[in-house]
Amino acid sequence: MDAPDHPAPETHPTPSHQRVWDVPTRLVHWSLVIFVGLSWWSVENKRMDIHYWSGLILLGLLVFRIYWGFAGPETARFARFLKGPRTVVGYVGKLFRPDYRASFGHNPLGALSVIALLLAISIQVGLGLFSSDTDFISAGPLNRHISDYDTVKQITDLHEDFFNVVLAVVGLHIAAIAFYLVVKRINLIGPMITGRRKAGNTDGPPAGIASVSLLRLGIGIVLAVGVVWLIAR
């Protein structure tokens, strides 16, 4: 996260870098990586105390990211990057043409991957809220709202199995990034770390995304913390 957001207008007429990802979007992205990993590690190592909190942090990240999909900067917005099937197919057709231009933000196909990831992690976290091992030494924060032992067992088995779906979607995501890196020679990892990419053969405004007010950011943080607090208390 070395590149701070620059709210000031660019001084030179043709900036050498285009801002594509804002700080909150990048932070949420890498936090999801960390906490999905931590959730997996903790349950494999029977650290349910860590698993519980890691899941709640994921819930907060998801709430924030969904809010940010409406209130965040251009490249974070669902309405901006979600495209219809015709556009997605059209994008795939253009992928190997010489006049291919890298997208500003998510490409139409990658947008589907974003939705799949958010949905899969949301379902997984949602199931976890109601789950418990059969010994009930520890339980998800909403588990007590399901009194039936066998229903809890079914939800928990589903929670366990659904992790394979999360892994599959993550695997697809990483495979796509590797494809762009190796075949298309486009590094998508760097911009997700620095927020910027070299200006040049890309779509979008030369300077990239505009800044979003701190008030909007604050509302998102309050919302995310509030939802987690309501569920965990």
Partner 1 sequence: MKAILFAAAAASAFALAACGGGEPEKPAEPTPAADATPEPAAAPALAGPAAMPDTTDVAAYMTARHENYEHLGKNMKVLQDNFRSETPDMAAVAPAAANVKAFADAMGDWFPDGTGPDSGNKTEAKANIWTDRATFDAARAKLAEEAGKLATVADAAAFKAQFPVTGGACKNCHDTFREEEKDH
- Kindly tell me which residue out of 20, 28, 36, 152 binds partner 1, with binding defined by CB under 8 A: 152
Q: Which is nearer to partner 1, 16 or 213 (CB)?
A: 213
Sequence-distant (≥ 6) Cβ neighbours of residue 49 within 8 angstroms: 138
Q: Hunting for tokens 């990802």 — which residue is that?
A: 21
Shortest spacing between CB 60 and partner 1, in angstroms: 9
Indicate whether 29 belongs to the interface with partner 1 (CB under 8 A): no
- Kindly tell me which residue out of 13, 147, 164, 185 binds partner 1, with binding defined by CB under 8 A: 147
Across 141-205, the runs of DSSP E, i.e. the strands, are 196-198
Q: Which is nearer to partner 1, 72 or 191 (CB)?
A: 72
Indicate whether 14 belongs to the interface with partner 1 (CB under 8 A): no
Q: Hunting for tokens 């899941």 — which residue is that?
A: 55
Give backbone dihedrals phi and psi of 106, rounded to 5 degrees, phi first: -70, 135
Question: If you compute the radius of gyration of the chain from its CA atoms, what whole number of angstroms results?
Answer: 20
> Which has the closest alpha carbon to 104: 81, 86, 85, 83?
81
Summarize as ranges the residues that interact with partner 1 (CB under 8 A). Answer: 46, 59, 62-64, 66-67, 69-71, 122-123, 125-127, 129-130, 132, 134-139, 141-147, 149, 152-153, 155, 157, 216, 219-220, 223, 226-227, 230-231
